[in-house]
Amino acid sequence: MSQCHGYAAKSATTPLEPFSFERRALGPKDVQIEIAYCGICHSDIHSARNEWGAAVYPMVPGHEIAGRVTRVGKDVKKFKEGDFAGVGCLVDSCRKCEPCQKGLEQFCAGPGTFTYNSVGRDGLATQGGYSSHIVVDENFVLKIGKGLPLERVAPLLCAGITTYSPLKRFKVGKNSRIGVLGLGGLGHMAVKIGKALGAEVFVLSHSASKKEAAKRLGADEFVLLADVNAASKMAGHLNFIIDTVSAKHDLNSALGMLKLDGALVLVGASPVPLEVSAFPLIMGRRTLAGSLIGGLPETQEMLDFCEQHKVLADVEVIKIQDVNRAYERMMNNDVRYRFSIDLKTLA
Ligand code: NAP
Ligand code: ZN
Ligand code: ZN
């Protein structure tokens, strides 16, 4: 066992606070990573505040982990000390069920083991990346190119793969015209990855203040949803929409922006149910779908793609002591576009 320091939520209503706990002893297939940076995903907030139910405390959130390998078990093949490495939302799965066999470990029937708020094979509660180090089976550790800025790579481990996976599944490419609904951490990655795949990208936002940034991030057009004129011009215009909104919002007008046979993929996980009218779906034979992060092989593919296309997150680096303030700011829609915690500040 090794002593680990981090920040934990002790209840749904109290601020995160310093917390010490034990990580399992390094097993033969395990990699120990000193965490350099961890992104703050809105799922961390939903989880820490128990907005989805099922929260177990104390909870150390964080599943956008990037750092350096400090120790490897005797049977580890993929990593050596000093390598850059990443950990996303998953740290284990059964490896036998059909989804696992297909490299879709996020849908493990086991079920899979999530990076925090889960119980590992070792019987210990899993604890996430707002901490000094983590011990993970090498099969669930991703390779990060040496020399990349880890503070900007960390968010790819969730925001990157969650947007890359459905864009690939729906074959977004050069002839696609896509909408990115909600320009936050996930949304800004969807813009960058959509552009790297060759698509024409429309940002569909509730915030007028994001117009300049949307263009700077590479979007071709910015549509303020409150501008009825601009929004109505979008009717029947898009092949695909990725919906990253973290709260209750209007799905039906977004569905109406799709062409015949277009698809809207929901990745945003509003704690409150969304209302869907039959007609915008029926009339254009449209599809409403969902998507959950991505499996391990696709996560590595995404990291390699982002390295090749020079896609990185836009981050505001913060000290761990400012994590509660960052949560408040994200809940007030005041993040451009991801907070990345510098874990050196734990010391
Ligand atoms: P975020 O950075 O906070 O961004 C969410 C965006 O949603 C905001 O920037 C805002 O965009 C829009 N929004 C927020 N509150 C709103 C409201 N009340 N009404 C309308 N629009 C609102 O969050 P994130 O980290 O990108 O995460 C987004 C969602 O995806 C969360 O629910 C998270 O749990 C979920 N998620 C899902 C997966 C998955 O695998 N499916 C993975 C990671 C995260 P505009 O101002 O531009 O409208
Ligand atoms: Zn996440
Ligand atoms: Zn499985």
How is the chain split into domains, by residue range?
Answer: 2-158+312-346, 160-290
Q: 168 CB less than 6 Å from ligand 1?
A: no
User: Which one of the ligands is nearest to 105 CA?
Assistant: 3
Pick the CATH number of 2-158+312-346 from 3.30.2290.10, 3.40.640.10, 3.30.565.10, 3.90.180.10: 3.90.180.10
pLDDT of 208: 97
Which among 267, 333, 336 is the best mutation to test ligand 1's pocket, defined by most ligand atoms within 8 Å of the CB? Answer: 333
What is the whole-number distance in angstroms between the Cα of residue 64 and the centre of ligand 2?
7
pLDDT of 300: 98
- SS3 for 145? coil
* Residue ranges of the chain with per-residue pLDDT less than 70: none
Q: 87 CB less than 6 Å from ligand 1?
A: no
pLDDT of 5: 98
Which among 116, 209, 215, 244 is the best mutation to test ligand 1's pocket, defined by most ligand atoms within 8 Å of the CB? Answer: 244
pTM, rounded to two decimals: 0.98
pLDDT of 121: 81
CA distance to 5, 107, 153, 191, 220, per residue, from 150 (Å): 20, 28, 5, 20, 28
Q: 166 CB less than 6 Å from ligand 1?
A: no
Same fold, 2-158+312-346 and 160-290: no
What is the whole-number distance in angstroms between the Cα of residue 321 and the centre of ligand 1?
23
Closest-lying ligand 1 atom to the alpha carbon of residue 331: 3
Q: 219 CB less than 6 Å from ligand 1?
A: no
Pick the CATH number of 160-290 from 3.40.50.720, 1.10.3430.10, 2.60.40.1120, 3.40.1190.20: 3.40.50.720
What is the whole-number distance in angstroms between the Cα of residue 247 and the centre of ligand 1?
7
What is the whole-number distance in angstroms between the Cα of residue 27 and the centre of ligand 3?
21
Phi/psi class of residue 258: alpha, beta or left (left: φ > 0; alpha: ψ in -120 to 50)? beta
- The tens digit of pLDDT for each residue in 103-131 reads 999 999 998 999 999 999 888 999 999 99
Q: 292 CB less than 6 Å from ligand 1?
A: yes
pLDDT of 183: 98
Report the alpha-carbon distance of residue 210 to residue 203 in Å, rounded. Answer: 9
Enclosing H/E stretch for 112: none
Q: 207 CB less than 6 Å from ligand 1?
A: yes
Closest-lying ligand 1 atom to the alpha carbon of residue 43: 34
Q: 293 CB less than 6 Å from ligand 1?
A: yes
* Radius of gyration of the chain, Cα coordinates, nearest whole angstrom: 20
Peptide bond preceding 28 in cis form (omega within 30 of 0): no
pLDDT of 122: 82
Closest-lying ligand 1 atom to the alpha carbon of residue 270: 32
Neighbours of 226 (CB within 10 A): 11
